[in-house]
Chain A
Amino acid sequence: MTNTAYVELLNLACGALLATAVLILWRRQFAAIIRWFGVQGLALASLAAILAVHGHDARLGAIAAGVFALRAVALPWLLRRALARAEAAAVQPQRETRPLVNVTASLLAAAVLTLLAYAVSQPLTALTPASPAAHAIPLGMAVVLIGFFSLVTRRRALAQVTSFLLMDNGITAVGLLTVASTSLLVELGVSLDVLLAVLVLQVLTGRLRETFGSTDLDELRELRD
């Protein structure tokens, strides 16, 4: 792979990451959110694959395959299954009905967060000014911040799980872009951790719905018998 092609593909994958993060924040329908989350997993996997091919790194290649299997296939499938169950129960419409910050304001906040991400990752970029991967760090950082913002403003459990995963996608992207060679073991551990967290949250969401008939986390403010 030539150097220009590498830089262009890398930038494209990072741009796709940011664009899908924006779309996840934008959409209300859970089905659409999960679809864009799957697309983002694909973008993340191709980012790892591009880095692997460029660095002739077999371990990174394995990580790319793992990221693809987990974030583009397994997690969207789990989320879709949770959504299908909630739809079967049909307690309320399957979309984020009233987030704490309305969508327009949260999109504008995300614009500010993107700029903030560029400001805070300047020192990281300055460490290796010649590397094109380092220049893409702000994009990954923006995904982390957007994910975190979405996590604190959404009320429904499924939306919060997706936001958590969005933030994790961002963290993985920053990790891939900053670290010269990642340990396969560490990456594997983190990925399995995420999978476990989603499984636990899924069970928790199911229990929540069975008990309260809703997955609006604001209902949990009072203690009951």
Chain B
Amino acid sequence: MNALGITGGVIQAVVITGGAPLLTGVMRQVRAKLEGRKGPGVGQPWRDLRKQFRKEAVAPEGTSEIFRVAPLALVATTVVTAVVVPFVTSASAVEPMADLFAVVALLAMGTATLALAAIDTGTAFGGMGASREVTILALVEPTLLVSIFALSVPAGSTNLAAIVAATLNDPGRVLSPASMLAAIALTVVTVAETGRIPVDNPATHLELTMVHEAMILEYAGPDLALIELASSMRLCVFLGLLASLFAPWGIAASPTPLALAIGTAAFAAKVVAGGAVLAAAEVFMAKIRLFRVPELLAGSFLLAVAAVASSYFLAGAS
């Protein structure tokens, strides 16, 4: 634990919590522009959140504490991830927590809690959404672990801060086949885990296709706002993870104000650019059938396995 890591952690928590709805706004705006619409503006998600937070909290009859705790748990796990993963600085606020397995487990815990809350409502949609989400989660987690593992083999540590620092010292590593294959696998994982097209459509409320929306159908008011906020933050965290692992340029290596400012600006720019590319790509894609999702995720798992294998075997050459 050092000064650099702690300042970085505080900045990351503030930037991600405040900026995540703006990222969602930018992505919707990009999509709207490409579809020839005017779009509601970048600030719309924040306006929606403000409206929701002012409402009275209501919960369906017969729901237990899990339903009320789940939004808080989801936000809490995401905030912890946002603090510990090295986004703005190359050091982590809580070094042991920045471990690959801890971060993946934290992210999975948030999703699992939400799935439990969805089952808790006892409605058909909640159960259906939870079942689908857990299916996708079970397929995503191995890929996520294995693809980051491919990057940790050359760095010699599963600590994300150590992986980022190793890539900063040796920028050529980004172009290795292991890193390239892992990048493709992680992009698919990001799309699947954050419920974007082609795995899930965040804009739909059609019963047959909903995944994430089906789980949160019973939420209203402040609880819904918390979940919406946490969803955008997760998207931000995943895009940030991609940026830190495969394009760690501009990350602050010293706790001077200038370096931190550059690090924050670089992080924001990379995440917004990633989000804009994702949104632009979505315009040209259709949601795939739910039964074909395992195929997509098996493909990304294969790429992740190939990444680990090549990072292990080609390591002997250089």
Contacts and interface: CB of A to CB of B under 8 A. Distances in A.
B317 A136 contact: yes
A15 B180 CA distance: 8
B39 to A, nearest CB: 32
B309 A115 contact: yes
Contacts of B299: 22, 26, 107
Contacts of A111: 301-302, 305-306
Nearest to B300: A107
B178 interface: yes
Contacts of A14: 177, 310, 314
Q: Which among A7, A14, A18, A142 has the highest number of chain B CB atoms within 10 Å?
A: A18
B317 A11 contact: yes
A135 interface: yes
In which size bucket is the chain B interface? Answer: 20 to 34
B176 A12 contact: yes
B203 interface: no
B306 A114 contact: yes
Interface string B277-318: 000000000000000001100110111011001100110111
In which size bucket is the chain A interface? Answer: 20 to 34
B180 A19 contact: yes
A194 interface: no
Contacts of B184: 19
Q: Which among B175, B294, B303 has the highest number of chain A CB atoms within 10 Å?
A: B303
A135 B313 contact: yes
Interface string A8-20: 1001101110110
B302 A22 contact: yes
Nearest to A14: B177
Contacts of A139: 177, 310
A114 B177 contact: no
B91 interface: no
B176 A15 contact: yes
Contacts of A104: 294-295, 298
A19 B303 contact: yes
A12 B176 CA distance: 6
Interface in B105-123: none
A7 B317 contact: yes
B251 interface: no
Contacts of B317: 7, 11, 131-132, 134-136
A9 B224 CA distance: 49
Nearest to B176: A11
A51 to B, nearest CB: 14
Interface in A77-134: 102-104, 107-108, 110-111, 114-115, 118, 125, 129, 131-132, 134
A168 to B, nearest CB: 20
Contacts of B313: 118, 125, 135, 138
Contact of A142 (B180, B298, B306): B306
B314 A11 contact: yes
Contacts of A108: 298, 301-302
B181 interface: yes
Contacts of B314: 11, 14, 132, 135-136
Contacts of A131: 317
A114 B176 contact: no
Interface in B171-217: 172, 175-178, 180-181, 184
21 contacts: A11-B318, A14-B314, A15-B178, A15-B180, A15-B310, A19-B180, A19-B306, A22-B302, A22-B306, A26-B299, A104-B298, A107-B295, A108-B302, A111-B301, A111-B302, A114-B305, A114-B306, A114-B309, A134-B317, A138-B313, A142-B309
Interface of A: 4, 7-8, 11-12, 14-16, 18-19, 22, 26, 102-104, 107-108, 110-111, 114-115, 118, 125, 129, 131-132, 134-136, 138-139, 142
Given A12-B175, A135-B317, 16 more contacts: A11-B314, A12-B177, A15-B177, A15-B178, A15-B310, A16-B177, A18-B306, A19-B177, A22-B302, A103-B298, A114-B305, A125-B316, A132-B318, A135-B314, A139-B310, A142-B306
